[in-house]
Copies of this chain bind each other. A is one copy, B any other.
């Protein structure tokens, strides 16, 4: 199903995950390959799902989304029998960018964006805490961003 990646493929991915506007021709040039095989490699990696999609990254500050909060969620023992319900709700919240199930004290770690404290508090109180079986929610507020990237390390 999925061909192992050559170092050429890795170079291509490195470029594409930094700038998806690059055309196959431009990439071909940078990796010193001719156009067609380069195009075919890109295409194959898309089919294989190595490249999931191309997206525009927006600037949260310029959209008034100045606030990032990490929330640790703990469900009640009872709620743990019905994770699907909670998870489905989470996926539906646009404010939640990430949700991970965690090993350790809390069940979930959420990354939430909001305009400001008010907006966040409303989201927490009116939505998150309204979910049945949510026992604890600890919010950790991010103050500034040192690094933010979607680029994965490809050795």
* Interface residues of A, Cβ cutoff 8 Å to B: 2, 5, 13, 16-21, 48-60, 62-63, 65, 68, 70, 87, 90-91, 94-104, 108-109, 113, 140-154
Task: Report whether A91 and B17 are in contact in the complex, using a CB–CB cutoff of 8 Å.
Answer: no
Task: Report whether B100 and A142 are in contact in the complex, using a CB–CB cutoff of 8 Å.
Answer: yes
Chain B residues, CB < 8 A from A54? 19-21, 54-57
With known contacts A141-B104, A153-B113, A96–B58 Cβ distance under 8 A: no
In the assembled complex, how far is the CB of residue A140 from the closest CB belonging to chain B, in whole angstroms?
6
Pairs across A and B, CB under 8 Å, 10 listed? A13-B56, A19-B53, A51-B57, A51-B58, A51-B59, A60-B152, A65-B152, A98-B148, A98-B149, A109-B142
- A56 touches which of B51, B90, B101, B102 (Cβ 8 Å): B51
In the assembled complex, how far is the CB of residue A11 from the closest CB belonging to chain B, in whole angstroms?
13
Chain B residues, CB < 8 A from A140? 102-104, 109
Chain B residues, CB < 8 A from A91? 146-147
Docked complex Cα distance between A95 and B147 (Å): 11
Task: Report whether A143 and B20 are in contact in the complex, using a CB–CB cutoff of 8 Å.
Answer: no
